Amino acid sequence: MAGKFVGKPIPPQDAFLKATGTAPYNYDIELPGMLYAKLVTSTVPHGRIKRINVEEALKVPGVVKVVTGKDIPYMVGMYAGDRDLLAIEKVRWVGHPVAAVIAESLEAAERAAELVDVEYEELPAVFDPLEAMKPGAPLIHEHMEKYRRLPVFKPVPGTNIANKFRVVRGDVETALKEADIVIEEEFHIKHVSHAFMETQNVIAHWHLDGTIEIWTSWQNPNPVRQIMAESFGIPYNKIIVKIPFVGGGFGGKAGLGWEALVAVLSREAGHRPVKLVLSRKEQFTSGACREGFHAFVKAGFKKDGRFIAYDVKYVLDAGGYADYTVNVGRAVAYSADGSYEIPNIRCEAYTVYTNKVPTTALRGFGYSESHWVLEQVIERAAKKLGMDSAEVRRINLIKPGVSITATGERLREDVGNPRKVLESILQEIGWGKPSEKPKEPWKIRAKGVALLVKGPAQPPKAPSSAAIKFNEDGTINLLVSTGNFGQGTVTALAQIVAEEFGVPLESVRVDWIRDTHSAPYSWQTVGSRGLFTDGIAVLNAVKDAKRQIFKVASEALRCPEEYLELVNGEVRVKGKPWMKIPLKDIVMGYSYPDGTSIGGPIIGRGVYMSVHTTNLDPETGQGHPTIFHTYGGTGVEIELDLLTGEIKVLKAVQAFDIGRVINPLLLKQQFHGGFIMGMSIALFEEIKFDERGWVLNPNFTSYYVARIKDVPPVVEKFVETPQADGPYGARGVGELTMIGVAPAIANAIFNAIGVKLNNLPMTPEEVWKAIKAQRPDLIEKAVKEYQKKMKEVKAVA
């Protein structure tokens, strides 16, 4: 159905305010009487707090209070429940908040924070998760069995393992023996930052009547409320969470934040509002980032290219707190098989505490990691088998309606068309045709491809809801609590409503502010689920509102409902378009000429509830983890400078089967934005630690993020295989667009020169080291070529 709005490239509704610099972000908000908080953070990686001396700090004019962990001994969390608000007895990483100063001004708070003196008794620390897993390693959380966690997570008390998760299907041992070739490798990924523009910041006001008002830069208000209500034992309706414009989230504003801490600070400071803003350095050292990652794999293939056995162990370096990362440890395991049907599979994922910065979800979590491994395994196997890697992919691709995934889920018939995705990438990138030779003979060009699939990593019950509220003039307030931090979901939702009611797009407004009090519930805004889940809720709300409207119109027009239709914002009698009532004369109730009225203000409500998702078996990981699977892939053409090891992406192709395009402009933006983020993480980003766990590059001069000059042209390929239970057939895609980039680049290099790049990021130094270790001749040859070329230039001149 090509609609008036659905399928059209409509600019995001918040673009104007953002582009003019007038959009109110949380950082901009100030409340009357507001105080400022500043954190004092640990300077040792692991230690017992012996003494905190706050006397000098309290002398600074303007200081209201200094709060320490002992004053507020709450444990909080979303999944693992393992975090204190401020270190209670011991610190677990350098940067662990130990105390908070509250003052009348930021200056006073900072001055006083410098004067808080903390004495530690240092404990043995452990920084490498492989070491931390060994018996006898220093214990970071001695009493993890006591934490209030979600029951699906399985910590191993007495160790540093915050969660252990397994997916087992078939008989991997036997299959490995039957395999004609076995690929055995290790892969590693360094910690990365979300690098959102707006650092985390919160205003909390614990009012005298016990109402807690929160303003925060977060992805969705409901999880914030849930964490606070559950941790404090406070009724949900006493907590009002409001989220204005958000300067980026990327998963880093999905789980546990600072709201509970700042709320308590407000209470401690005499019920005045308190604001906490993290500096960039604090964001790096006290906030949470993406975990460090290690994978150890054995993969067995038959001569004909069939992928028959996959045995993989993942170890996640979760840092001092693993709250959300235990879920990353699940996602990485149940996504191990990617877009392929692998009959025998065994993955074990360990989420492990270390004395480093804590970690959390980051766009595409788990899936980015599993695909970094899997897609390179395919490439390596193809080479060993002497086959075209595209052919190996084709042979093993899942078959809709037939194939069974690693978790034993039979894929629905309309799950998507990965085959078409693959072919469109191959065609666009010119697979099989050699790249043009670069003018500089010390450079090489190459092509690489990676496929991927992803669904939202969520519990089986994760509902959404929406409400449609009409105003006196017939305009519509669309109420949702799904977050809006750059994806543009709410614009797409408004398009759907305008389409369904036949009203102009301007007639549908979604407020800037998401709040828990007036907006209907939506579980979380994560996992690329927003348009899918909340889109269905909105469509159901439309249906509900229409039913109410037709009922009134039927009476008013004296015509059975089945003969009515809604066209261009009017209810009409089919075939007699002159017999009509504009919406505005119905939505507040219909009045007859004599003044008697029927009906009343219209509010449509609709819900989404996940269908067929289940818990996963605790021993085998079998079950249905996700509500959809979106298949896609990335193709790249790269240029490698053999002299420096620097990789430049010349061209990229992104193809995804998104079911149905609701807004091609926003979709393109996701394809481009995701590519850039994926490339940045592939080539530049890495949080570096010293041997004592200090972050060495907590800033953007030494933590590198891709710049605009690094960005190549990106070609978008939309594949549309509608899914029956999606809104207009659509599936989610937001996160997915970054997942394939890194493996596609690594595969390109491997294809061209056979050099394996097993470690992310592929910085020039890392690539140079790999070439030097595996093909030193290439570097020497490049130097010779360079000299030769110079002499030629000289001779011409």
Q: Which residues bind another protein (CB under 8 A)?
A: 39, 41, 106-107, 110-111, 114, 277, 279-282, 284-285, 643-644, 646, 684, 688, 694, 696-702, 704-707, 763-765, 768-769, 783, 786-787, 790-791, 793-794, 797
Distance in angstroms (rounded) separating the CA atoms of residues 467 and 664:
25
Q: In what order do the strands lie in the sheet with 564-567?
A: 564-567, 570-573, 576-582
- If the CB atoms of residues 208 and 796 are measured against another protein, the closer one turns out to be 796
- If the CB atoms of residues 388 and 440 are measured against another protein, the closer one turns out to be 440
- DSSP H helices in 53-209: 55-59, 106-115, 129-132, 172-178
Minimum separation from the CB atom of position 512 to another protein (A): 26
Minimum separation from the CB atom of position 116 to another protein (A): 13
- If the CB atoms of residues 232 and 704 are measured against another protein, the closer one turns out to be 704
- If the CB atoms of residues 104 and 107 are measured against another protein, the closer one turns out to be 107
Distance in angstroms (rounded) separating the CA atoms of residues 619 and 624:
15
DSSP, res 54: -
Q: Regarding beta strands 464-470 and 476-479, do their DSSP bridges make them parallel or antiparallel, or are they unpaired?
A: antiparallel
- If the CB atoms of residues 146 and 788 are measured against another protein, the closer one turns out to be 788
Minimum separation from the CB atom of position 688 to another protein (A): 6
Neighbours of 440 (CB within 10 A): 15
Minimum separation from the CB atom of position 601 to another protein (A): 47
Minimum separation from the CB atom of position 769 to another protein (A): 7
Distance in angstroms (rounded) separating the CA atoms of residues 509 and 20:
19
Minimum separation from the CB atom of position 284 to another protein (A): 7
Minimum separation from the CB atom of position 177 to another protein (A): 42
- If the CB atoms of residues 724 and 795 are measured against another protein, the closer one turns out to be 795
- If the CB atoms of residues 724 and 797 are measured against another protein, the closer one turns out to be 797
- φ, ψ for residue 428, nearest 5 deg: -65, -35
- Strands (DSSP E) contained in 373-458 are 443-454
Minimum separation from the CB atom of position 696 to another protein (A): 4
The answer to whether the CB of 169 falls within 8 A of the CB of 623 is no
Distance in angstroms (rounded) separating the CA atoms of residues 311 and 314:
10
- If the CB atoms of residues 2 and 796 are measured against another protein, the closer one turns out to be 796
- φ, ψ for residue 133, nearest 5 deg: -80, -20
Minimum separation from the CB atom of position 780 to another protein (A): 10
Q: CA 525, 361, 151: angle at the middle one, nearest 5?
A: 85
Query: Strand pairing partners for 573?
Result: 564, 576
- If the CB atoms of residues 439 and 794 are measured against another protein, the closer one turns out to be 794
Minimum separation from the CB atom of position 377 to another protein (A): 28
The answer to whether the CB of 273 falls within 8 A of the CB of 31 is yes
With a CB cutoff of 8 Å and minimum separation 6, the contacts of 36 are 102, 103, 104, 105, 106, 108, 109, 274, 275, 276
With a CB cutoff of 8 Å and minimum separation 6, the contacts of 314 are 293, 294, 295, 329, 332, 333, 347, 348, 349, 350, 369, 370
Q: By three-state DSSP, how is residue 791 classified?
A: helix
- Alpha-carbon radius of gyration of the chain: 28
- If the CB atoms of residues 512 and 704 are measured against another protein, the closer one turns out to be 704
Q: Regarding beta strands 344-353 and 307-319, do their DSSP bridges make them parallel or antiparallel, or are they unpaired?
A: parallel
DSSP, res 404: B
Minimum separation from the CB atom of position 36 to another protein (A): 10
- If the CB atoms of residues 114 and 145 are measured against another protein, the closer one turns out to be 114
Q: Regarding beta strands 630-641 and 646-657, do their DSSP bridges make them parallel or antiparallel, or are they unpaired?
A: antiparallel
Minimum separation from the CB atom of position 480 to another protein (A): 34
